[in-house]
A and B are shown apart, each in its own frame.
Chain A
């Protein structure tokens, strides 16, 4: 079934098309969800909620079929962010001091598997991980991130720098051990 037909089927509430869409995109969306949620079970819940939201709103999807994947990714990220927001009940005072970011970042190309990197990213504290994911992988601006985490833009920058620093240290550590 082509993507266009899948979309039409889902718009008509056709269960076969809906299942087909889940089969096709679940592994991709699970990877997106897994970046935000440390726990597999939580990540699974997120994509389940995301798919429900996708089927609820697919009537409003009027772009070209190629944009579907990005649209679904956006919904999955929004669902994950909403879930994460619930965990930030108390307003933490975030660091606004920008740390010197001119340190050299390790060269990971061809040296690390994606699983290894994901494992390292997942070890970051929640808020650091979220900012890193949003900025580096999902292309959010600091302004957007700041709104999402209810902090100032400078805090978002500071969090990103700290996240990168932690990652760099961990990667160098792994590299040293390997040698």
Chain B
């Protein structure tokens, strides 16, 4: 380095220029205060989901059911029989213990008429059986051979059993005015209603009912909304396109650690009675990682010391002392927390089935991913850290399609449906640009917790 450069360096080495530090500080303090107030995104999303869940829960519980009783005189008459027959009480209570769907009974007058007609029909049947029973009793009473030869208990029991069935069926007929659909699913009644054909009900085939075996289903569609929040671990799939960038790849791998993701979602489900369903909605995912780099600086200093060794003619060595330029290399750890946030629009298909006390939903599909924000630093191709907010030539804005799959386990808790869903997601396309030397994709595997609202 020449004298000119040295003079320039000396001039500027410790140069200070006047500046209004109060004004500067007020600007800095302002930004620091804003930063202190800044919460991570999921701090906002989590309470929103919680509030929405509470709102939905409240709305569901505030819903009142209006029961319209049909104007059928025969049924009114039969009510007396039901009330007087104490033997039926246990069955009746048992029957009432099951959830019946109170679904849209008021908006279908034709259905009520049909029910009334059917009620008339089975009341007639009941009257015939009653008549037969009375005749049988009368016959037995008229011709008693001895005191011991009274009516055989089995005969009366048979008649009573038939009568019970009718009365229960009759009672159900009242209930049927409220709904024709009964839920057999472990998930509450709103979710998976099943149609009970009257011929089965009227024959008293309640064993199936109590064993929770669906007898017959009809085609229908049900709608529901899922609100979920989850956590996932993330594997980064980072590859080079050519071996020339192997060292760059290694540098990126060694400086980026501890990936995890949080996610939240709102999804709409449309499910067919066969069990197949389709889902779409909006998912939000934030991947967090730690960027760990070593930063360094060379400080030029001048120290007093030996600048030259001179060998004298007599073999002794003389030392010249003077100013000597030394370079001090200082290093420090730099840790920056990066985050990459995405908005995803999924299209999922799946199948719903029940096992014992839980309902399962196997699902898989594709999601279209858009980058919302990238913040932090990574090592750039030039070997220096680059800022993700300003470096626009690494990550795409539209990161393409991902494959998603999961297994949702639905649990009824009182009248609400909650679910747990282990899930996976894999980027089918690179999230980096074509001309960037590395290809990057993510594989997420995690668990979601959520609430389902059925319409």
Given contacts A27-B19, A148-B384, A150-B382, contact A114 B11 (CB under 8 A): yes
Q: Is the CB of A35 within 8 A of B12?
A: yes
Q: Please report the C-alpha to C-alpha distance between residue A44 and residue B27 in the assembled complex, in whole angstroms.
A: 10
Q: Is the CB of B24 within 8 A of A44?
A: yes
Instruction: Closest B residue to A112 by CB, please name it.
Output: B11
Q: Please report the C-alpha to C-alpha distance between residue A150 and residue B386 in the assembled complex, in whole angstroms.
A: 13
Q: Is the CB of A22 within 8 A of B21?
A: yes
- Within residues 353 to 410 of chain B, which ones have a CB less than 8 A from any CB in chain A? 382-384, 387, 390
Q: Is the CB of B297 within 8 A of A70?
A: yes
Q: Is the CB of A26 within 8 A of B24?
A: yes
Instruction: Closest A residue to B2 by CB, please name it.
Output: A105
B149 at the interface (CB under 8 A from A): no
- Within residues 25 to 61 of chain A, which ones have a CB less than 8 A from any CB in chain B? 26-28, 30-31, 34-35, 44, 47-48, 51-52, 55-57, 60-61
Q: Is the CB of A137 within 8 A of B390?
A: no
B299 at the interface (CB under 8 A from A): yes
- Within residues 26 to 70 of chain B, which ones have a CB less than 8 A from any CB in chain A? 27-29, 31-32, 35-36
B334 at the interface (CB under 8 A from A): yes
Q: Is the CB of B31 within 8 A of A44?
A: no
Contacts of A23 in B (CB 8 A): 21, 25
Q: Is the CB of A27 within 8 A of B17?
A: yes
Given contacts A71-B330, A117-B11, A136-B9, contact A55 B32 (CB under 8 A): yes
B244 at the interface (CB under 8 A from A): no
B14 at the interface (CB under 8 A from A): yes
Contacts of B387 in A (CB 8 A): 82
Task: Give the interface size class of chain B.
Answer: 35 or more
Q: Please report the C-alpha to C-alpha distance between residue A39 and residue B65 in the assembled complex, in whole angstroms.
A: 73
A63 at the interface (CB under 8 A from B): yes
Q: Is the CB of A74 within 8 A of B4?
A: no
Given contacts A27-B16, A31-B15, A105-B2, contact A52 B31 (CB under 8 A): yes
B298 at the interface (CB under 8 A from A): yes
Q: Please report the C-alpha to C-alpha distance between residue A109 and residue B2 in the assembled complex, in whole angstroms.
A: 13
B417 at the interface (CB under 8 A from A): no
Q: Please report the C-alpha to C-alpha distance between residue A117 and residue B11 in the assembled complex, in whole angstroms.
A: 9
Q: Is the CB of B28 within 8 A of A30?
A: no
Contacts of B21 in A (CB 8 A): 22-23, 26-27
Contacts of A28 in B (CB 8 A): 14-16
A99 at the interface (CB under 8 A from B): no
A86 at the interface (CB under 8 A from B): yes
Q: Is the CB of B332 within 8 A of A70?
A: no
Instruction: Closest A residue to B18 by CB, please name it.
Output: A27
A119 at the interface (CB under 8 A from B): no
Q: Is the CB of B382 within 8 A of A136?
A: no
Q: Is the CB of B390 within 8 A of A82?
A: yes
Q: Is the CB of A31 within 8 A of B16?
A: yes
Closest chain-A Cβ to B393's Cβ sits at a distance in Å of 10
Contacts of B19 in A (CB 8 A): 26-27, 30, 44, 47
Task: Give the interface size class of chain A.
Answer: 35 or more
Q: Which of B2, B17, B299, B335 contacts A60 (CB 8 A)?
A: B335
Q: Please report the C-alpha to C-alpha distance between residue A54 and residue B334 in the assembled complex, in whole angstroms.
A: 11
Contacts of A164 in B (CB 8 A): 4
Q: Is the CB of A62 within 8 A of B24?
A: no
Q: Which of B36, B298, B333 contacts A62 (CB 8 A)?
A: B333
B8 at the interface (CB under 8 A from A): yes
Contacts of B335 in A (CB 8 A): 60
Contacts of B1 in A (CB 8 A): 136
Given contacts A22-B24, A105-B2, contact A61 B390 (CB under 8 A): no
Closest chain-A Cβ to B147's Cβ sits at a distance in Å of 101
Contacts of A26 in B (CB 8 A): 19, 21, 24
A139 at the interface (CB under 8 A from B): yes
Q: Please report the C-alpha to C-alpha distance between residue A117 and residue B384 in the assembled complex, in whole angstroms.
A: 30
Contacts of B384 in A (CB 8 A): 147-148
Q: Is the CB of B330 within 8 A of A63?
A: yes
Q: Which of A56, A63, A70, A114 contacts B12 (CB 8 A)?
A: A114
Q: Which of A19, A52, A82, A114 contacts B15 (CB 8 A)?
A: A114
Q: Is the CB of A22 within 8 A of B28?
A: yes
Closest chain-B Cβ to A63's Cβ sits at a distance in Å of 6
Contacts of A34 in B (CB 8 A): 17
Instruction: Closest B residue to A73 by CB, please name it.
Output: B297
B300 at the interface (CB under 8 A from A): yes
Q: Please report the C-alpha to C-alpha distance between residue A147 and residue B381 in the assembled complex, in whole angstroms.
A: 9
Q: Please report the C-alpha to C-alpha distance between residue A15 and residue B333 in the assembled complex, in whole angstroms.
A: 24
A108 at the interface (CB under 8 A from B): yes
- Within residues 75 to 111 of chain A, which ones have a CB less than 8 A from any CB in chain B? 82, 85-86, 105-109
Would you mind naming 14 contact pairs between A and B with Cβ atoms under 8 Å apart? A22-B21, A23-B25, A26-B21, A26-B24, A27-B18, A34-B17, A52-B32, A60-B333, A67-B330, A70-B330, A82-B387, A105-B4, A137-B9, A147-B384
Which 4 pairs across A and B sit closest by C-beta, in order of nearness? A105-B4, A27-B16, A147-B382, A31-B15
B interface residues, Cβ below 8 angstroms from A: 1-5, 7-9, 11-19, 21, 24-25, 27-29, 31-32, 35-36, 295, 297-300, 330, 332-336, 382-384, 387, 390
User: 13 more A-B contacts (CB under 8 A) besides A85-B390, A107-B4?
Assistant: A15-B32, A18-B32, A30-B16, A44-B24, A51-B24, A51-B28, A56-B35, A63-B330, A71-B330, A107-B3, A114-B15, A137-B9, A148-B382
